[in-house]
Amino acid sequence: MRTRAVLQLLALWVLLATGTAHAAVLTITSALSIDSNDAHFPTTGTPAPVNLPDNWAATRPDHNGSVWYRTTFGKPADLADDDLLALYIERACSNLEVHLNGRRIFSGGRMVEPLARNCYRPQLVSLPAALLNQQTNVLDIQVQGSALTHVSARARAGGLSALHIGPAARMTELYESRQFWSISTIQITGITLIALGGFLLILSWINRSEIFLLYFGSLLIGWALLSLRVWWPQWPWETRDFELLACSAFAPVVAMAVLFLLSYAGVRSRRVAGALLLQCLLMPLSLMLAAPDRLFVFANTWFLLMSAQLLAAIALYLTRAWKHRRADFWPMGLSLGSMGLLVMLELAVQFGWLPTQAIQPLNFALPLLLLGIGSRLLQVFGRALQAAEVNRTQLEKRVIDATAEIERNFAQMSALRVEQVTEKERKRIAADLHDDLGAKLLTIVHTSESERISTLAREALEEMRLSVRGLTGKPVRLADALADWRAETVSRLGQANIEADWRNPVDELDQQLSARTFVQTTRILREAVSNIIKHSSASQCKVRTSVDAVHFGLLVQDNGKGIAMELDGKLDRGHGMSSMKHRAKQLLGQCLVESGPGYGTVIRLTIPL
């Protein structure tokens, strides 16, 4: 009867605390708890109601061992029959086991020393359908944790977060998101820090005068090694040994940070270096001599002292940077200021002035700041190397200035000679084409008895004349070009019984076309007219030209039958469209074709002047 009354009380408490769930996710923010090392939820003693999350640092700071939590839940009303249920626990420190309706269904690792340390890891527990009841299910969670007085960081004191029960897919999303930000991000940045730190150590060995590279490379590697405590939960040391090691590792890391800031600011002090080395020895010694229940106090005293050292070094560096290295002040000031803010935020959490965060800002943000500072150092080092290289080059340049001047003059004379020879050869080829090939083609035009041969010869003669004009390289006035194009187009269309309607801009056209632009545009226009004559069955062709400050536009439109449906999407394979577009592209312009069966064809050419 007593057990039944306890379960009824627990169910009522959970119902009042959680309220209604949405999207088939049940959030449990209260439970019954009892301190016990039993293998199952104890049947003796009176459990006390607690709110979740239950942070032992606040609710039971002196408790060291096991705490049982019991809560009840029913299957969510809007859960589909084929959906699997899962339990998502954002934080359980240091380790936990989960029992469902009296059966153990999950263990996070060793529950005795050396404990599995899962303080930074979320937990995802599948709830077997065979063990679930339709109405009321009893969920027992045993948390094995450490008292606040026995650890060096408040985040590693025992505790249990709120519980989330819902579809396995949704719980997996929450788990993977938290796993990424809490673990994977730290692992990725840790590997990056080791790589960058190793590179900086190599640079410091190559350039031994830049001692700050040695300190900062050691700092990056030290912090990456320190973050290993988050990577892997199954460390082979008991809690006290693990805390001593993790806490003592901060001393050399802080020492490297202080020495880096001092050396980068141009301050060298053997006394400071000796004091930091002595601190690295005294800190672990004092922690080992401290009573087990005084570890938190001693550790945080050291953390406060080292934080003061780091903040003082940051202030000294920024002061000297403002006076002597103003270019470095703002980028380094932003990074170091953010680092100091993170340190003060961590101290506020450690001393209980701020609540413990789900994701530790120091673990997440500090590596990113270190990477930013490392990138800045590489940039500064690269600029220094570049400056040294520039100085060396300038020194060599003074020796070879005379030779370089002679070589430049010779190169200019050679280039001018090559240009003259090229221009002369281009004109010779143009003259040969015009005098020899042109004369022969003209003879064929006038003497051939075959109309087809005569037509082909005339077309070849026109192409040859166009090529000769391009070889001469002389620019053409746009007004003259339009006149030539209009005369040729109207003549060709008239011979094919197609009415031509050509209109030019009314303004005076003083713009110049390069020989290449004139030749390519002529060929595009000829191809467009040829397509109209051969394929369009048009009775009328309209040509419009337009000119603005930077572009010349040409529109050719016929009233023919348009392009057949079976050729739609294949314009580049026929009717010379491919060559027209290719020529326009060579001129950094574009040639657009619009057509539809029965609606004629429109060709829009736009080229830069």
257-292 confidence digits (pLDDT tens): 999 999 998 888 899 999 999 999 999 999 999 888
Q: Return the percentage of the chain with pLDDT > 70, whole number.
A: 83
pLDDT tens profile 323-336: 888 888 888 888 88
Residue 439 has pLDDT above 90, yes or no: no
579 or 575: whose pLDDT is higher? 579
pLDDT band at 11 (very low <50, low <70, confident <90, very high): very low
Mean pLDDT of 115-140: 91
Identity of the highest mean pLDDT range in 269-278, 500-509, 527-536: 269-278
Nearby residues of 30 by Cβ (< 8 Å), 6 or more positions away:
13, 14, 16, 17, 18, 49, 50, 51, 52, 71
User: Where is average pLDDT lowest: 120-124, 308-312, 376-380, 462-466?
Assistant: 462-466
pLDDT value at position 2?
39
Q: Residue-wise over 430-443: b if at least 16 C-beta within 10 A, else e?
A: beebbeeebeebee
Q: How many CB atoms lie within 10 A of CB 495?
A: 9
Q: Is the pLDDT of residue 12 over 90?
A: no
Largest distance between two CA atoms of the chain: 126
Would the pLDDT of 466 be above 80? no
Q: What are the structure tokens assigned to 544, written together?
A: 């419009």
Q: What is the mean pLDDT of the chain?
A: 82
Residue 548: how many CB atoms within 10 A of its CB?
9
What residue type is assigned to position 232 of the chain?
W
Are 169 and 188 contacting, i.e. CB atoms less than 8 angstroms apart?
A: no
Q: What is the pLDDT of residue 1?
A: 36
Per-residue confidence band for 48, with pLDDT thresholds at 50, 70 and 90: very high
pLDDT score for 423: 62
Among 155, 157, 161, 163, residue whose Cα is nearest residue 60: 157
CA distance 425 to 420: 9
More confident site: 54 or 351: 54
Top-confidence residue, 359 or 240:
240
Cβ burial of 170 (10 Å; 0-12, 13-18, 19+) is middle
- SS percent in the chain: helix, strand, coil, step 5: 60, 15, 25
List CB contacts of 377: < 8 A, sequence separation 6 or more.
Answer: 200, 212, 213, 216
Q: Kindly state the DSSP code that residue 577 receives in the 8-state scheme.
A: H
Residue 130, pLDDT above cutoff 50: yes
Is the peptide bond prior to 94 cis by the omega test (within 30 degrees of 0)?
Answer: yes
Share of the chain above pLDDT 90, in %: 34
- Cβ distance 337 to 311 under 8 Å? no
b/e per residue, 11-46, with b = 16+ CB within 10 A?
Answer: bebbeebbeebeebbbbbbbbbbbebeeeebeeeee
24 pLDDT higher than 90: no
| Mean pLDDT lowest among 30-44, 172-186, 401-415 | 401-415
Query: What is the number of helices (H) and of strands (E) in the chain?
Result: 17, 20
Res. 569: pLDDT tops 60? no
Q: What is the pLDDT of residue 425?
A: 64
Helix (H) / strand (E) element for 411: namely helix 361-432
Q: How does residue 444 score in pLDDT terms, banded at 50, 70 and 90? A: low
Here the tokens at position 95 are 């380790």
Which of 22-26, 165-169, 589-593 is predicted least confidently?
22-26
Which pair of structure tokens corresponds to residue 86?
């899962």
- Residue 179: Cβ-neighbour burial (10 angstroms; 0-12, 13-18, 19+): middle
Quickly state the pLDDT bin for 433 (edges 50, 70, 90). Answer: low
Q: Give residue 7's pLDDT.
A: 41
Lowest mean pLDDT segment, chosen from 49-53, 451-455, 542-546: 451-455
3-state secondary structure at position 550: coil
Residue 364 reports pLDDT greater than 60: yes
- Residue 312 reports pLDDT greater than 90: yes
As a whole number, mean pLDDT of residues 192-209 equals 90
Q: With beta carbons less than 8 A apart as the criterion, state whether 111 and 199 touch.
A: no
Mean pLDDT to the nearest integer, 207-215? 88
The model's pTM is 0.60
Task: Give the C-alpha separation, 203 to 211, whole Å.
Answer: 10
Q: Which residue has the higher pLDDT, 462 or 11?
A: 462
Q: Give the lowest-confidence range in 16-25, 291-300, 418-427.
A: 16-25
User: Rounded CA gap, 33 and 67, in Å?
Assistant: 7
Give the least confident one: 55-64, 181-190, 392-401: 392-401
pLDDT-derived band at 469 (thresholds 50, 70, 90) equals low
Tokens of 263: 């050396």
Predicted local distance difference test score (pLDDT) of residue 432? 54
The predicted pLDDT at position 92 comes to 93
The answer to whether residue 14 scores a pLDDT higher than 60 is no
Beta-bridge mates of residue 51? 30
Q: Is the pLDDT of residue 217 over 90?
A: yes
pLDDT at 378 (0 to 100): 85
User: Does position 412 have pLDDT exceeding 80, yes or no?
Assistant: no
| pLDDT at position 552 over 90 | no
